[in-house]
A and B are shown apart, each in its own frame.
Chain A
Amino acid sequence: MKFKRLLTTLLLMSFNAFALDMSNVGVFTRCYSHITQKFPPSNLSQLNAVKNGLDPITACLQIFDMANFAKNTSMLTNTNNQTAKDVLKTMHNLHYSWFDTNFFPEIQNQIIRNTGNVFDTSAPAAYFTKALFDAASPVTNVLAGTTSYRLIRANNNPTNSPWNNIPLGDYIFTNVNFAGTGELLGMEVTAVNDTMNFTFDENQNPPESIISGTLTYNRHFGGGVLGLQPYLLQSVQSTVLNPSPDGGVKTHRKWSRAVFNDILCRELPVVREVDGDPFVSSTSSITFRNSAACVKCHTSMDRMAGVVRGVQYTERAGKFFNLGHSAFIKQRTIDKPDADIFPIEPDIDFGKRPTKGRLYYRTHNGVLVNKAVINIQDLADQIIAEDAMFVCMAKRYYKFFTGIDVDVGDIGDPNHVYLTAEEVAVRDIVIDLGRDLKKHKNPRLLIEDILRRPEYKKSNSNVGGFL
Chain B
Amino acid sequence: MKNNSSSFHLIFNTINLFLVSLLIGCFGGDRGDLEYSQGEIIRIPSSIGEGLYQTKCSSCHGALESSAKIGRTFAQIKSAIQSGSIPAMNGASLQALTDEEIQAIADALDKSIPQGSSNGLKYNQIIGGRAYLASKFTEIFNSSSNSTITNKINTFKNKPGFLGGKCPHLELCSGTRGDQQQPDADAGIHPLASVTRRGFITKACQEILSVNTAVINALSKAGLASSSPGNEANMQLLFSTMNPTTVYESAASTGLITLHNQAISDHGFTNFRAWRMVIYTICISPTFEAI
**Contacting pair A10 B259 (CB below 8 A):** yes
What per-residue 1/0 map shows which CB atoms of B1-22 lie under 8 Å from chain A?
A: 0000000000000110011001
**Contacting pair B187 A14 (CB below 8 A):** no
- Could you tell me which residues of chain B, from 116 to 167, have a CB within 8 Å of some CB in chain A? 118-129, 131-132, 135-136, 138-140, 143, 165-167
* Interface membership of A216, Cβ < 8 A: no
CA A426 – CA B36 in complex, angstroms?
Answer: 7
* Interface membership of A153, Cβ < 8 A: yes
**Contacting pair B245 A460 (CB below 8 A):** yes
CB distance from B192 to the nearest CB of A (A): 10
**Contacting pair B188 A93 (CB below 8 A):** yes
Q: Using CB atoms, name the residue of chain A closest to B290.
A: A460
**Contacting pair A38 B123 (CB below 8 A):** no
What per-residue 1/0 map shows which CB atoms of B214-254 lie under 8 Å from chain A?
A: 00000001000000000000000001100111111101101
**Contacting pair A422 B246 (CB below 8 A):** no
**Contacting pair B132 A181 (CB below 8 A):** no
CA A33 – CA B32 in complex, angstroms?
Answer: 23
CB distance from B286 to the nearest CB of A (A): 4
Q: Which residues of B contact A13 (CB under 8 A)?
A: 249, 251-252, 254-255
**Contacting pair B198 A9 (CB below 8 A):** no
- Could you tell me which residues of chain B, from 9 to 47, have a CB within 8 Å of some CB in chain A? 14-15, 18-19, 22-24, 26-38, 42-47
**Contacting pair B178 A163 (CB below 8 A):** yes
**Contacting pair A33 B132 (CB below 8 A):** yes
CB distance from B237 to the nearest CB of A (A): 13
**Contacting pair A464 B254 (CB below 8 A):** no
The interface size bin for chain B is 35 or more
CA A39 – CA B288 in complex, angstroms?
Answer: 11
* Interface membership of A62, Cβ < 8 A: no
Q: Which residues of B contact A429 (CB under 8 A)?
A: 36
**Contacting pair B291 A34 (CB below 8 A):** yes
Also in contact, A121 and B170, with CB within 8 A (given A33-B291, A467-B24): yes
Q: Which residues of B contact A467 (CB under 8 A)?
A: 23-24, 27-28, 194
**Contacting pair A458 B33 (CB below 8 A):** yes
User: Which residue, of B23, B46, B290, has the highest number of chain A Cβ atoms within 10 A?
Assistant: B290
Q: Which residues of A contact B177 (CB under 8 A)?
A: 162-165
- Which of A191-199, A334-342, A404-412 contacts the other chain? A404-412
- Which of A268-276, A295-303, A361-369 contacts the other chain? A361-369
**Contacting pair B47 A365 (CB below 8 A):** yes
**Contacting pair A462 B27 (CB below 8 A):** yes
Q: Using CB atoms, name the residue of chain A closest to B131.
A: A37
Q: Using CB atoms, name the residue of chain A closest to B289.
A: A463
Which 5 A-B pairs give the minimum distances between C-beta atoms?
A10-B255, A465-B124, A365-B51, A463-B286, A19-B33
B residues within 8 Å of A by Cβ?
A: 14-15, 18-19, 22-24, 26-38, 42-52, 54-55, 115, 118-129, 131-132, 135-136, 138-140, 143, 165-172, 177-179, 184, 186-189, 191, 193-194, 197-198, 221, 239-240, 243-249, 251-252, 254-256, 258-259, 262, 266, 281, 285-287, 289-291
